[in-house]
């Protein structure tokens, strides 16, 4: 009788142990799944680092698009009096006419500028976005088709950046790894669009300079163009990082992880 009693106790204890282990395993599996799917802490940290790189590119793009120091145009100082001379700098949306003091300009410089010098500034938005009129700068006429194309490409790139940022935010919050691939596509496309817009803007400047040869002008691309160029390269690099992070684990890493617990 006592032997039967102990056997029943052992059987019931084994059932309780198996049930408890099953419940514990289920709780542990739910906890890991809720944390972020199959991502490890190191993988999540890499994704956040790549996202930070992409955010740097987004910030530089917004800085370039919102400023008007893409190119500076300045005539020779000899065409004006000995006190003041004009210079113009513009970007995608507006141009600024600046009257500079000759005494502030480097004596060895033949043209008026640079536009960063202090002086009287008058900024106006381009009318080809509203009424379709070309702008006239130092008797030279802009080519509105190229200018509008450069601005539209930048707006499209910003849209791609927003979509890519949404994908990465959802991937980090929900642990959905497959969203890394569309995010990489959006960021790479955004970087390519920024670089294409730079080339289109450069062609628009050359078209402006060749529209009239009455007044010789010195042109110089400024720091906003540099910001846009760096932004395009950074965005492409961030997209490539997301592609690498979305790839499956290599067999070599699987072998290392398999041999780790045994050793």
Q: Are 107 and 117 in contact (CB under 8 A)?
A: no
- The pTM of this model reads 0.78
Domains of the chain in sequence order: 41-247 (1.20.140.150)
Residue 1 buriedness (CB in 10 A; 0-12 / 13-18 / 19+): exposed
Strands of 94-101's sheet in order across: 119-125, 94-101, 84-90, 71-74, 218-221
The pLDDT score that the predictor gives to residue 178 is 85
Residues of the chain with pLDDT under 50: 1-3, 5-11, 14-36, 250-252, 262-263
Residue 48: name the closest of 156, 40, 37 by CA. 40
Q: 74: Cβ–Cβ under 8 A, 6 or more apart, which residues? A: 85, 86, 87, 88, 111, 112, 113, 114, 115, 217, 218, 220
Residue 118 buriedness (CB in 10 A; 0-12 / 13-18 / 19+): exposed
Report the run of H or E that residue 160 belongs to, with start and end. Answer: helix 144-174
Can you say how many angstroms the Cα of residue 223 is from the centroid of all Cα atoms in its chain? 16
Q: What are the two backbone dihedrals, phi and then psi, of residue 176, each rounded to the nearest 5 degrees?
A: -95, 105
The pLDDT score that the predictor gives to residue 104 is 85
Looking at residue 111, the DSSP 8-state letter turns out to be B
The pLDDT score that the predictor gives to residue 204 is 94
Alpha-carbon gap, residue 121 to 32, rounded angstroms: 60
Report the run of H or E that residue 94 belongs to, with start and end. Answer: strand 94-101
The pLDDT score that the predictor gives to residue 1 is 46
């Amino acid at each position: 009788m006592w032997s039967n009693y102990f056997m029943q106790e052992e059987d019931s204890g084994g059932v309780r142990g198996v049930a408890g282990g099953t419940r514990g395993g289920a709780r542990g599996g739910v906890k890991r799944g809720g944390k972020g799917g199959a991502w490890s802490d190191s993988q999540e940290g890499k994704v956040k680092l790549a996202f930070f790189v992409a955010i740097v590119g987004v910030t530089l793009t917004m800085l370039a698009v919102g400023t008007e120091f893409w190119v500076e145009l300045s005539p020779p100082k000899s065409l004006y009096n000995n006190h003041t001379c004009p210079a113009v700098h513009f970007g995608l949306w507006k141009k600024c006419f600046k009257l500079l003091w000759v005494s502030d300009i480097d004596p060895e410089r033949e043209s008026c500028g640079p536009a960063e010098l202090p002086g009287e500034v008058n900024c106006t938005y381009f009318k080809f976005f509203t009424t379709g009129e070309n702008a006239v700068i130092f008797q030279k006429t802009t080519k509105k088709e190229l200018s509008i194309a450069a601005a539209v490409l930048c707006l499209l790139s910003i849209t791609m950046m927003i979509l890519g940022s949404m994908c990465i935010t959802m991937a980090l919050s929900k642990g959905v790894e497959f969203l890394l691939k569309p995010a990489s596509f959006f960021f790479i496309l955004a970087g390519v669009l920024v670089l294409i817009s730079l080339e289109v803007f450069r062609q628009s400047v050359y078209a402006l300079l060749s529209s009239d040869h009455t007044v010789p002008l010195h042109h110089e691309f400024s720091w906003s163009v540099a910001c846009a160029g760096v932004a395009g390269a950074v965005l492409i690099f961030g997209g490539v990082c997301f592609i690498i992070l979305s790839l499956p684990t290599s067999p070599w890493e699987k072998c290392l992880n398999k041999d780790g617990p045994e050793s």
